[in-house]
Amino acid sequence: MTGKKSGKPELTHLDAAGRPAMVDVGDKAVTVRTASASADLRFPEAVAEQLRRQGMRSAKGAIIDTAIIAGTMAVKNTAQWIPFCHSLSIEGCVFQIDWQNKQTLRILCTVRVTGKTGVEMEALTGASAAALTVYDMCKALSHAIEIGPVKLHHKQSGKRRVDVK
């Protein structure tokens, strides 16, 4: 089962016998493909205030810079984490990390590649790994830090763009 043969969405990572399979992208066109995904971290109010006062530094170092490095490494290694992802030569990976309100830090990861398959899994993996890194660097202050939601915002290939609300 692949794509939307019946007009309804169908799972793409199954072969004709219903067994797990990597999608064959051999016949797809090479196009520029981008995707953006985010992960939110919600901190207890006192912790968020402390992090702002400390310039987003913890005893482990620069929180934002470390999260960007970890997220970028995760983007480049997504195929090692997600079994049916294709290995890609990532051309661009950008992180935007900003406070959304007093307690919520948003990590937005945008990935770009020229290839035959999309990069939404890379964007989701990058945002997730960056969020986990922030958690790791801040957990000494509180274990009540919440991660989520992690979500796709958009993906674009040569022919179509999908925006998720």
31-45 pLDDT, tens digit per residue, is 999 999 999 999 999
> What percentage of the chain reaches a pLDDT higher than 90?
70
Nearest alpha-carbon partner for 109 in 91, 96, 119, 90: 96
Residue 62 pairs with which residues in a beta bridge? 57
CATH of the domain at 53: 3.30.70.640
Q: Would you say residue 150 lies in a domain?
A: yes
Task: Record the tokens describing residue 1, joined without a space.
Answer: 């089962």
Most confident of 19-28, 106-115, 156-165: 106-115
Residue 124 lies in domain = 31-163
Question: Which of the residues 15, 98, 136, 163 is marked catalytic?
Answer: 136
* Cα–Cα dist 74/125, whole Å: 6
Number of structural domains (the chain) is 1
87-116 pLDDT, tens digit per residue, is 999 999 999 999 999 999 999 999 999 998
Q: Would you say residue 24 lies in a domain?
A: no
Is 136 annotated as catalytic? yes
Residue 3 has pLDDT above 50, yes or no: no
Helix H segments across the chain?
A: 45-53, 63-76, 78-81, 120-138
